[in-house]
Amino acid sequence: MDKIPMTAAGHVALEVELKQLKHVERPAIIKAIAEAREHGDLSENAEYHSAREKQSFIEGRIKEIEGILSLAEVIDPKTLSGAVKFGATVTVVDEDTDEEKTWQIVGEHEANIEKGLLNVKSPIARALIGKDEGDSVEVRTPGGEKSYEILTIEYK
């Protein structure tokens, strides 16, 4: 399988989530299932079924995170420079509204547009990759065509 690129911060965040799931959530749900079992008839026990459902979700998420981490390729943006590539923090200006935006291009498992973390596979990131400061890019987004000019590219 292909390696999954991610930043060190994204890797740490997944490790923290995994530790939380394994050492806090999993034991808590096992305890909740044991308590619900004590209430008798399991076929009509909503607490039991709810706890089992949550346990299933937790176990699935643990397996998913372990899979991601086993394929992770941590890339340190500080070692990079030049045109836009994975890990770059790019400041652009919308050529129609003059609104400035700053995004860091990260792996899909750490992307969060509200926090300025742009999925490397997103249309905007794909349009920016390979471009330099001063270049203009056209991006087809769900909201329509957008034009951005790249103001700065940083690797931090």
pLDDT tens, the chain, 156 aa long? 689 999 999 999 999 999 999 999 999 999 988 888 887 766 777 888 888 999 999 999 999 999 999 999 999 888 888 899 999 999 999 988 999 999 999 999 999 989 999 999 999 999 999 999 999 999 987 778 889 999 999 998
3: phi then psi, degrees, rounded to nearest 5: -70, 150
Stretch(es) of the chain classified as CATH 3.10.50.30: 77-154
Architecture of domain 77-154: Roll (3.10)
Instruction: Report d(CA 30, CA 118) in Å as an integer.
Output: 36
**CA–CA separation, 47 vs 68, rounded Å?**
31
What pTM was estimated for this model as a whole?
0.80
Torsion 22-23-27-29 (CA) sign: negative
Q: Which pair of structure tokens corresponds to residue 41? A: 């008839």
Which fold, 4-74? Helix Hairpins (1.10.287)
In the chain, which residues fall in CATH 1.10.287.180?
A: 4-74
Question: What gap in Å lies between CA 42 and CA 46, rounded to an integer?
Answer: 8
Asked if 152 and 133 count as a contact pair (C-beta separation under 8 A), the reply is yes
Structure tokens at 152: 């700065």
